[in-house]
Amino acid sequence: MNSQRNMSEQMGAALRDLRRQHGLTLREMTKKTGLSTGFLSKIERGFSQPSINNLHKICYVLHIAIDDLVPLKQDEPEQELPAADLPPLIKKDQRSLIYNVNNVVKLESIFSSSAQYKLDVLTLSGGKVEYASKHRYEEIGIVSQGKMEIEFETGQVYQMDEGDALQIPADIEHTVRNLSENVCVSFWFKLMDEGGDAEL
């Protein structure tokens, strides 16, 4: 329980610092996200953990990916290592937890030190699980276990089986759904365009 509270506090502090760096007040964040000022304040103080939907809304306004919170949560600043110094193998237990809500939606970072790309793994529990997302970068998802559906705000619907891949353009809202009764695991390769983000 303490580790969950510590995670919430670290995430809240990171979000507060980013909001201040953007020169935004809580009231301005309320207008941009549709979330109440009181709720945003609780998140920043670590008293409440946002749903994956609400966290996406906050990160979108702050021009960051959710996994940008990983290095901010660590005690020491993350250093980008030269390619030759990178470990050749990332074991499953070496992933960095970004987000976990009751083991229903879990997002873990595999690679996050590069400014050009990031790689995450998304685990959805069995049964009907869905959430909406919108971000300022392109990403490519590959399903490794189970079956999922992704619906774009334009009305296009894609069903993905194991081994299927889908490219999602930047700034397109999409809803992710688990279509199987079992766990669905997918890997997401995010193409970070810092120059493009700076223009937004």
Instruction: Supply the pLDDT for residue 23.
Output: 93
Instruction: Supply the pLDDT for residue 128.
Output: 84
Instruction: Supply the pLDDT for residue 4.
Output: 61
Q: What is the mean pLDDT of residues 175-187?
A: 94
Rounded-to-integer distance, Cα 164 and Cα 141, Å: 8
Question: 96-112: per-residue pLDDT in tens?
Answer: 888 887 788 999 999 88
Q: What is the mean pLDDT of residues 69-79?
A: 48
Question: Smallest Cα–Cα separation from 91: which of 72, 108, 79?
Answer: 108
Question: 7-45: per-residue pLDDT in tens?
Answer: 788 889 989 999 999 999 999 999 999 999 999 999 999
Instruction: Supply the pLDDT for residue 111.
Output: 87
Q: What is the mean pLDDT of the chain?
A: 84
CB contact at 8 A, 96 and 70: yes
The pTM for the full model equals 0.78
Instruction: Supply the pLDDT for residue 5.
Output: 62
From the number of C-beta atoms within 10 Å of its C-beta (0-12, 13-18, 19+), residue 148 rates as buried
Instruction: Supply the pLDDT for residue 86.
Output: 59
Question: Smallest Cα–Cα separation from 75: which of 5, 18, 13, 4?
Answer: 13
For the chain, the C-alpha Rg in angstroms (whole number) is 17
Residue 86 is classified by DSSP as S
